[in-house]
Every structure is written in C-alpha cells, then in structure tokens.
Structure 1
Amino acid sequence: MGVHRVVEVAHSLVWGLVALVHTPAHVVLVGLDSSGKTTALLRLKYGQYVNAVPTVGFNCEKVRAGGAQWLAWDVGGAERVRPLWRSYTRATDALIFVVDSSSSSERLEEARVELQRLTKQQNAQCVALNKHRPPLLVLANKQDLPGARDVNGLAKALGLPELQESQPWAVMPACAVTGEGLDEAMATLHTLVVKARKQAKAKK
C-alpha cells in the first residue's frame, strides 16, 4: 500500500470517527420483557443504578458511552408491544438486543425466535432500500446472577452464527445494575457502526 493510500485511509477513518462523535448514532434497545433494557439505558444516561418500571411504550435518551454519543431508544418487550419493534428499528444505525443471561431454555428460545424474526424483517427492508445492515449487539445482561450463560453459550442459543454474512454482530457480557461491561459493549458497537458507515460510503 502506497503512502498516499495510507494517508487517504487514515483521513477517511478520522473523518468517520469525527462524524460519529458529533452526530449521535441512532440505536434501539429491544429484547424480551424484564431483560434489563431500561436499566441499561438509565445506567448509561446517569452513570448509576436507577430503579426502572416496565416500559409500556418507549424511552429515549441521549447518552455518551463507548467513546461516542448515541440517541438511544428503549422499546418495551412485552409480547403485545413487540410488533412495534419493526417501526422503531427501520432506520436505525445500530441495534442492541438485550438478553437475560440467566434465562431458562424456554425463555431463550422465545428470544431467539423474536431476534430471528426481527433480523429477517430488517434484511428485507435493507434490500428494498439498498442500505447496509445495521450492526447488531447482543447484550448478555445479568451476568451477576447464578446460572448466567457465557457469551458463547448465548450466541449459540440465539442462533447468531446462522445469521447472514451481511449481518455484523457481536455479543458482550454486562450487568446493567452495576454498570459492569456496558461501556466496553458500547465501544464494541461504536467500532461496528464506524466500519458499517465506511463500507456504505465506499459503495457510493
């Protein structure tokens, strides 16, 4: 790679990072009810534990985490609310699927079905609009609880390795109550978003 090309790549990366820092990325938190979505959002917002009530509709907060600013939407996870996920995630820059790592096998299967349904819907939307797939971060929450599965076990249970190659994804462990792992998870998502934006720009 020539010096000119190295400088060009570095310049592109710097501007991509600057754009992400100054323009909050749109991210949506979804997942089954009681997985800890609102607790995670409020922890990111205030830097401390805030007792959260079940979300009936949605919450929206501007937060700074993982080296970037985010406009974060937290959508309720009750079964009757899940059809709304499609509307909230249609034009998002990234998606966070929050999972209770200590869930039963039946509950994890329910999460797998919902996640697979959502990613298929997003794929169809992106193909129709000729857009790149928004990165997916699975937040393996409640790692402090007994019986919590590790990230590899959760990835397998949720069928993540079976997702299409065009779907960028990562799994990160966290505990929304203590805040442990949240900033690292958001930093990982930040990296995925920057990469996705660069790839989208390169195709134009």
Structure 2
Amino acid sequence: MCENLLLVCAVFRIAVYTFFRRLCGFGPPPVKPNFTVLCLGLEGSGKSSILAVLSGEKYDDISPTKGFSIKALLFDDCIVDVKELGGGESVRPYWDRYYGGAQGIIFVVDSTSSDEKLKLASNELHKALGDPVLDDLPLIVLCNYQDKQEAKSPTQLQEILEVNLEDGHRTWSIHGCSIHDKDSIKHSFQELNKVLLHPKSHSKVNHSDNKDFSRL
C-alpha cells in the first residue's frame, strides 16, 4: 500500500511539473539520451548491490542474478539501461547471447578475491572483450569492496586482470568503489556516461582511479 502511494505521488509530481512547463511556455522537458550497457562479473562481485545503491534501493540480502536483469538508471544528462548478466558458472557460457545492442561495458570485480578467482575473472573479461559484437565498446572496470582491509588496489587489479589494452581501439578506465560509498560508484558511471555522450572527444583515453577508501 505504501509503495503504491509513493508511485501515485511520483506520477502526480511529474504531471504537475509538465503542466507548469507548458503553462509557462517552456514545453515538455527535453528527452534525455538513452544508452544500453552490459554489466558483467563473476558471481559475488557485487553487481546487483552496486546497481541497487545507484537506484536508491536496499542492497541487503540481494540474491545472485541467475539469468539477466535490466535496470534503468537516471542521471542528469542521460538514462542508462544496465543489462546485468549473472556471473555463475552455469550462466557465463551464455553471456554472448545478450551482447546485442550494447553500447558500453561495465566489469565488476571483487577486490578481495583470491588469486585463483581473479585469474578466472581476467579470463572471462578478455573472453568478453574478444567478442566481435563488443569490439571497441567503452569499458569501465569497477574494483568493488575497496573499503575492506584485504582489498587489492585498482593498480594491482589492473595488472592482475591484464587491463592494459594498449592497442588504442577501446576507451577504458578502472575505478575503486564500495557499496558503502555511493559517490564512488556514481563517479565511475559518470565517466562512462561522458564517453557515451561524446565518443569522439574521449577516443583512446585510458586511465585508472586509485581512490583511497581507508577512511570509510
């Protein structure tokens, strides 16, 4: 009942806002650009939690994504439809069936993972990047759980995951983040949004973000 009331209130606010703009001669609000991006990563890397944080939803007790899910994220300058693919062993072989229509890639890695699991993550990342459908699409790597003491830094993970991509054909960046710091996640997504909105001005730009999360 409470959720339905909130929805009705939200629709009412939008209607009043639209009516006010038309009454004042402003016309309807401008349509925002809409993009579709993939969200990949091994099971337990925190993909669903990251998206929940950005959406303002609760992230406690989120069940692992078994197939795929789509979440629309609203930013000031665009709308990003994130197609999250499950990272379990039984799902990863079918990732490529969902690549069509993607305009960008988000790869999430658990910064506290064992060397063995990080090697697996690296293999899955490069397998995906090698698919012709995803050729040249911009990439951001999110190093999740940076607030944990045992977390490896983005610089370390960049080396372990072999995210060098010095061929210059793909715009990419790597960022540290934590589900307890929404700004760190939002900043990373906004970096991708800039590339999606202005692809020519961000061509062949590669960098890493080594934010210190020791005070979280």
Is 1:175 the equivalent of 2:169? no
Unaligned runs of 5+ in 1: 1-18, 127-131
For residues 66 and 152 of structure 1, the distance between their equivalents in structure 2, rounded to whole angstroms, comes to 30
Number of equivalences:
174
- Residue 154 of structure 1: aligned partner: 157
For residues 170 and 146 of structure 2, the distance between their equivalents in structure 1, rounded to whole angstroms, comes to 25
Give the direction of change, closer, same or farther, for the CA distance of 1:148–1:116 in structure 2 (3 Å limit): same
For residues 160 and 31 of structure 1, the distance between their equivalents in structure 2, rounded to whole angstroms, comes to 14
8 Å CA contact retained: 1:66, 1:187:
no
Unaligned runs of 5+ in 2: 1-29, 204-216
Is 1:96 the equivalent of 2:106? yes
Give the direction of change, closer, same or farther, for the CA distance of 1:174–1:56 in structure 2 (3 Å limit): same
Q: Structure 1 length normalisation: TM-score? A: 0.77
For residues 180 and 99 of structure 2, the distance between their equivalents in structure 1, rounded to whole angstroms, comes to 25
- Residue 86 of structure 2: aligned partner: 76
Give the direction of change, closer, same or farther, for the CA distance of 1:172–1:188 in structure 2 (3 Å limit): same
Query: Which amino acid counterpart does residue 193 of structure 2 have in structure 1?
Result: H
- Residue 133 of structure 2: aligned partner: 125
Shift of 1:179: 2.4
Query: Which amino acid counterpart does residue 175 of structure 1 have in structure 2?
Result: S
Higher relative contact order (CA 8 A, sep 6+): 1
Secondary structure at 1:181 match in 2: helix
Alignment of 1:1-204 (within 5 A): 22-46=32-56, 49-65=59-75, 67-121=77-131, 124-125=132-133, 133-162=136-165, 164-196=167-199
Shift of 1:125: 3.0
Q: Structure 2 length normalisation: TM-score? A: 0.73
Shift of 1:180: 4.4
For residues 42 and 194 of structure 2, the distance between their equivalents in structure 1, rounded to whole angstroms, comes to 26
For residues 67 and 108 of structure 1, the distance between their equivalents in structure 2, rounded to whole angstroms, comes to 34
- Percent same amino acid at aligned positions? 27
Greater percentage in helix: 1
Give the direction of change, closer, same or farther, for the CA distance of 1:63–1:125 in structure 2 (3 Å limit): closer
**RMSD after superposition:** 2.3
8 Å CA contact retained: 2:195, 2:202:
no
Out of 38-47 and 99-108, give the one that drifted further.
38-47
Secondary structure at 1:161 match in 2: coil
